[in-house]
């Protein structure tokens, strides 16, 4: 997702006018400043993924909306055959550089998540950090899940990690700011639009290059809505957890983890590990 050919101060203004869908501009060079995550946290998250997915070494894993590749690289470091898929050319470039530094092999693919072309290629697909619900149209989101089903082998596993709508609606609105390792400052305002059912974020990045504004909007599906979408495409949910730390799911859990298996109905859906 390359940025438009404008100076730094113009980017946010054009995005705010709705000149382009937000997801085509939000995940640009500033994204990793907006969401800095340390290696220790990434390793802990992948520990949780491994326990949930229970894959053999060498298993093929698709990291859907892989961003800067932090999970894909860590999974590859642990012996899995990983493909990272994302629309952002900027983040994919960073991901390739990160894999090279880590001396691991990851196949990074550029594309739109609604147009996955893989067929029965993966033992597992992961979708992390609320990377689902970007589009204004619910059928577009369902199209993403249909692509996941096509990409999975029979009895392949799907793991989705995202914010928990119930907790989010209770906590927002929020405002805050933080200083990055490079000295950049990020101002952030998060709101919940009850009528649209969406989490909206407005972020202003200030550094030596100037000031840029970015806006994003993610559909805040309820758990029953997600279950309904999963069921329709053939991804029965087996577990619902409150985070990759394997905590039990509660209405006030800040995170939501869904574990589904292609074409395999569970006896019951478990909300504890």
| Average pLDDT value for residue range 32-56 | 91
Note the pLDDT tens digit of each residue in 128-170.
999 999 999 999 999 999 999 999 999 999 999 999 999 998 8
pLDDT band at 16 (very low <50, low <70, confident <90, very high): very low
Token pair for 159:
């793991």
| Average pLDDT value for residue range 182-186 | 89
Cα(first)–Cα(last) distance of the chain, in Å?
37
pLDDT band at 4 (very low <50, low <70, confident <90, very high): very low
pLDDT > 90? residue 29: no
Only one residue has tokens 């470091």, namely 77
Amino acid 15: pLDDT: 35
Amino acid 27: pLDDT: 86
Sheet with strand 174-179: strands edge to edge: 174-179, 185-193, 198-207, 210-219
Residues 6 or more apart whose CB falls under 8 angstroms from that of 157 comprise 53, 55, 123, 124, 125, 259, 260, 261, 262
Average pLDDT along the chain: 91
Instruction: Measure CA 4 to chain center.
Output: 23
pLDDT band at 113 (very low <50, low <70, confident <90, very high): very high
pLDDT > 70? residue 8: no
Indicate the pTM of the whole model.
0.91
Burial class (CB in 10 A: 0-12, 13-18, 19+), 191: middle
Do 194 and 169 contact (CB within 8 A), yes or no? Answer: yes
Domains of the chain, each with CATH number or no CATH? 39-163+222-261 (3.40.50.150)
Do 157 and 259 contact (CB within 8 A), yes or no? Answer: yes
How far is the C-alpha of 19 from the C-alpha of 165, rounded, in Å? 28
How far is the C-alpha of 52 from the C-alpha of 249, rounded, in Å? 14
Sheet with strand 152-163: strands edge to edge: 106-110, 81-86, 60-64, 122-127, 152-163, 255-261, 237-241
What share of the chain in percent tops pLDDT 90? Answer: 84
- Which residue in 192, 216, 195 sits closest to 204, CA to CA? 216
Highest mean pLDDT out of 165-169, 179-183, 259-263: 259-263
pLDDT band at 20 (very low <50, low <70, confident <90, very high): confident
Token pair for 208:
């030596």
Region for residue 120 given its phi and psi (left: phi exceeds 0; alpha: psi -120 to 50; beta: otherwise)? left
How far is the C-alpha of 138 from the C-alpha of 186, rounded, in Å? 31
How far is the C-alpha of 159 from the C-alpha of 127, rounded, in Å? 6
């Amino acid at each position: 997702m390359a940025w438009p050919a404008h100076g730094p101060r113009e980017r946010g203004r054009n995005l705010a006018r709705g000149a382009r869908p937000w997801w085509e501009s939000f995940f640009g060079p500033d994204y990793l400043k907006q969401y800095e995550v340390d290696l220790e946290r990434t390793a802990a998250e992948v520990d949780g993924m491994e326990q949930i997915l229970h894959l053999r070494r060498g298993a093929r894993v698709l990291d859907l909306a892989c961003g800067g590749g932090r999970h894909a690289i860590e999974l590859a470091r642990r012996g899995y055959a990983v493909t990272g898929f994302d629309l952002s050319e900027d983040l994919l470039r960073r991901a390739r550089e990160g894999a090279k530094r880590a001396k691991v092999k990851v196949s990074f693919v550029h594309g739109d998540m609604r147009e996955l072309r893989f067929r029965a290629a993966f033992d597992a697909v992961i979708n992390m950090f609320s990377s689902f619900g970007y589009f204004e149209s619910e059928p577009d989101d369902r199209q993403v899940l249909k692509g996941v089903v096509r990409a999975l082998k029979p009895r392949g596993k799907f793991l989705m990690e995202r914010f928990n709508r119930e907790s989010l609606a209770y906590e927002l609105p929020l405002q805050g700011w933080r200083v990055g390792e490079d000295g950049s400052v990020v101002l952030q305002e998060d709101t919940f639009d009850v009528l649209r059912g969406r989490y909206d974020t407005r972020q202003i990045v200030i550094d030596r290059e100037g000031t840029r504004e970015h806006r994003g909007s993610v559909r805040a599906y309820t758990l029953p809505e997600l279950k309904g979408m999963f069921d329709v495409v053939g991804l029965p949910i087996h577990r619902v957890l409150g985070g990759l730390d394997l905590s039990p799911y509660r209405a006030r859990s800040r995170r939501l983890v869904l574990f589904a298996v292609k074409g395999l109905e569970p006896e019951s859906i478990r909300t504890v590990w």
